[in-house]
Amino acid sequence: MFRVDPHVKILDEHVVRRAKQRGLDAIVYAPHFVRLDEIRARARRFADDDLAVVPGREVFTGNWRTRKHVLMLGLSDPVPDFITLEGAMAELDRQDGVGLVPHPEFATVSLGPEEIRQYRDTLHAAEVYNPKHREYQNERAQHIARDTELPGFGSSYAHLHGTVGEVWTEFEGGLDGPESVVEAFRNEEPRRVFHRDGYGHALRRHLEYAHLGYENTWKKIDRLFLSGTEPTHPKNVAYGGRFDDVSVY
């Protein structure tokens, strides 16, 4: 068996130490608005024999008001934010990457059953437990996973250090580096989802939910993206014009 926290937004010495204290074997590092080469470099820096760090990208598709998030693993080439959902899924398919559905049908930023069914061949799992969710939202996510016949996963979705390892997904089999995590999701291997409980877990959930308001403000997104010069803007020079036809800004 190996334990993975499949969606962590931060990565430093404190995250690594906490992940190990929580008994994790691997984490997926997928920060917002950071290009894939930088994510890979940071993942290599903090990985060691006791903790695998898998680079991932949570791609924001669509425009700010209609955005849908897709968590992508196993990418060979970078994928920017703010391209059409169709364009993002076509690129994921072209690269034979692994697509995960974070926080399904949460607020206005998530894939719902209709989109999941449309791209089912490119998607490999749906999140069924997220600390930011209220109980009814986790229950709805579990229903969506069952209804669309996607395997589930649970993650800490940690934006704060203390949340790392509050939730994990446990796979059967051994861990042999980051590739094992990607292949476990790709092959839809058997897994179980666990989360901590009690007052401490409830506090972590409330803190993460409170953080949500900060990270989802128009002022912040306007400052980050609409100039067209930021790292994961589709018209950034780093993408060489490859996504101009599917860019929404």
Q: Tell me the pTM.
A: 0.94
* Contact between 158 and 164 (Cβ < 8 Å): yes
* Contact between 37 and 238 (Cβ < 8 Å): no
Q: What is the mean pLDDT of the chain?
A: 93
* Contact between 49 and 26 (Cβ < 8 Å): no
Task: Express each pLDDT in 200-227 by its tens digit.
Answer: 999 989 888 888 766 666 555 655 566 6
In whole angstroms, give the CA distance from residue 26 to residue 211: 24
CATH architecture type of domain 2-246: Alpha-Beta Barrel (3.20)
* Contact between 224 and 232 (Cβ < 8 Å): no
Task: Express each pLDDT in 4-41 by its tens digit.
Answer: 999 999 999 999 999 999 999 999 999 999 999 999 99
* Contact between 178 and 154 (Cβ < 8 Å): no
Mean pLDDT within 129-158: 96
Per-domain residue ranges of the chain: 2-246
In whole angstroms, give the CA distance from residue 18 to residue 247: 38
- In terms of phi and psi (left: phi > 0; alpha: psi -120 to 50; beta: otherwise), the region of 101 is beta
